[in-house]
Amino acid sequence: MEDSNLSSVSSSPYGFSMIVTMLSCIVVPAWIIIHRWNQRNVMGPKTWPLLGASIEQYINYDRMHDWLVEYLSVVKTVIVPMPFTTYTYIADPANVEHVLKTNFANYPKGEVYHSYMEVLLGDGIFNSDGEHWRKQRKTSSFEFASKNLREFSTIVFREYALKLSSILNQASADKKELDMQELLMRMTLDSICKVGFGVEIGTLAPHLPANSFAQAFDTANIIVTLRFIDPLWRIKRFFNVGSEALLDQSIKSIDDFTYRVIRRRKAEIKESKTTNENENKIKHDILSRFIELSEEPESDLNDKSLRDVVLNFVIAGRDTTATTLSWAIYMVMTHPQVADKLYSELKVFEENQAKEENISLLPYNPDGTKSFNERVKHFASLLTYDSLGKLTYLHSVVTETLRLYPAVPQDPKGILEDDVLPDGTKVKAGGMVTYVPYSMGRMEYNWGPDAAQFKPERWLKEGFFQNASPFKFTAFQAGPRICLGKDSAYLQMKMALAILCRFFEFNLAPEHQVKYRMMTILSMQYGLRLGVTRRS
């Protein structure tokens, strides 16, 4: 009789559903409990069946870099399973060297990273692998090694640093607060367009014209970064809704600007060749070199390829430099002893350099804007590629900023084949390994007990700058993909900081919050709002 009742219950639709529900109520919690029990001794974020660590990562998304610091300070390798892949985060220089150099071929950008970033960076140098990457790197390497480009860059960087100085001078006279990060973004965008593409776009004009390209570029950067933890982005992309719809609009605006730059440069090159004038001008910028290559019979470069070149150099030459300068100014203003020491070095440099070149310094007039600008120009004229090399404390300030606030805080790599890292961690093909410069700079096992302190002196020994291993100081990557623009970036950052810190003091605006924004580049979420005062 009981068997008959049970049979009748299980054979009815309602009864079957009840049994499934009862089993689910037992099996699913048991599954979760067993999973969590197996994770009890694992040093890393909490994981759940199917979801992996996505819940904890999503909760901590806005502070992900510091979230990783908390784990990596305890264990040098953190494994973070996600629904469709597994991220392995590393901060040990030995592991980093293995990934970036020793077994370089096994850790490309990879298909996953490429698919996330392709809409913005296309097949440019920062988003490509294999032969395509090698061709671009070879061309870019040749251009960055060019003496003409270095001299041209020095002139351009000085020109735009002076334009920024003039804006700050006026703000000081008007007692007006400014968003320094926005101004630096304008300065570096104008600079990279002039040095990289040979065009003048004028975003740093005194009236600070609206810049739809920069706004669209920042929006796109934020959204493609969000893709790394958003498992639904492909669905949003398919239906063109939410963040992906906004991304689509932003890419249209970016492409309008980029293709306009390419058309303008092509027209200038064609006109220059037709009139046989300014032949040397053609070779001064990087885009022109790629345009020349695209016109060769065997070339596979087209306008889309040139578009990718432009955008990859924008993210390299605008965003990274501007954000580092923003953090450097913030560090200097919040560390008075550093500000005083840097100011003293710049003053002594100015006096010594003027003596060497037999230049008389203009007298200081605190009330005269025109005479102040003239003094700044005098000082800027002393700043050359070679003379900037004498400013060792300035170089240390920039480097220490990059140690704690690297422009690229995380850099993920794909995994082609199963491998074992030097610390014994096993990584599986199809997953991703991410070295974390932001965390590495804060690790005591890398830098000692004062790792979290901003201390430019750590880079100096008996007055001379001492480099660290690029696998420990990873701000410019290392191995075959080491940053080609490192010297150019230092040149622009030191040029700008020398002028700004010699002639201005900065004070953070009351109640202004400084925190990073989650995107590919470590920019400040609310900008850097400050007041500025002229110095003698």
Which residues are known binding-site members for heme?
Answer: 483
Helix axes 303-314, 286-294, angle to 10 degrees: 160
DSSP 258-300: HHHHHHHHHHHHHHHHHHT--HHHHTSSHHHHHHHHHTSTT--
DSSP at 48: B
DSSP at 317: I
- How are the residues of the chain apportioned to helix, strand and coil, as percentages rounded to the nearest 5? 60, 10, 30
**Strand pairing of 86-90 and 432-435?**
parallel
- Reference 165, options 433, 499, 449; nearest CA is 499
Radius of gyration of the chain (CA): 27
**389 three-state secondary structure:** helix
Instruction: Find out whether 50 and 82 touch, Cβ atoms under 8 Å.
Output: no
CA 118 from centroid of its chain's CA atoms: 17
| Residue 531: strand pairing partners | 507
Q: From CA 369, how far away is CA 206, in angstroms rounded? A: 15
| Residue 405: strand pairing partners | none
Could you tell me the CA-to-CA distances from 23 to 15, 48, 52, 120, 322 in Å, in that order? 12, 20, 23, 47, 58
Q: From CA 432, how far away is CA 112, in angstroms rounded? A: 8
121: left (phi > 0), else alpha (psi -120 to 50), else beta? alpha
Give the annotated binding-site residues.
483
DSSP at 516: B
Burial 130-144 (b: 16+ CB within 10 A, else e): eeebebbeebbeebb
Instruction: Find out whether 339 and 505 touch, Cβ atoms under 8 Å.
Output: yes
Structure tokens at 119: 């809409």
Q: From CA 150, how far away is CA 389, in angstroms rounded? A: 14
The residue with tokens 């480097």 is 399
Q: From CA 300, how far away is CA 282, in angstroms rounded? A: 21
Q: From CA 109, how far away is CA 424, in angstroms rounded? A: 22
Q: From CA 292, how far away is CA 267, in angstroms rounded? A: 12
Structure tokens at 21: 């529900």
Q: From CA 192, how far away is CA 156, in angstroms rounded? A: 9
Instruction: Find out whether 204 and 160 touch, Cβ atoms under 8 Å.
Output: yes
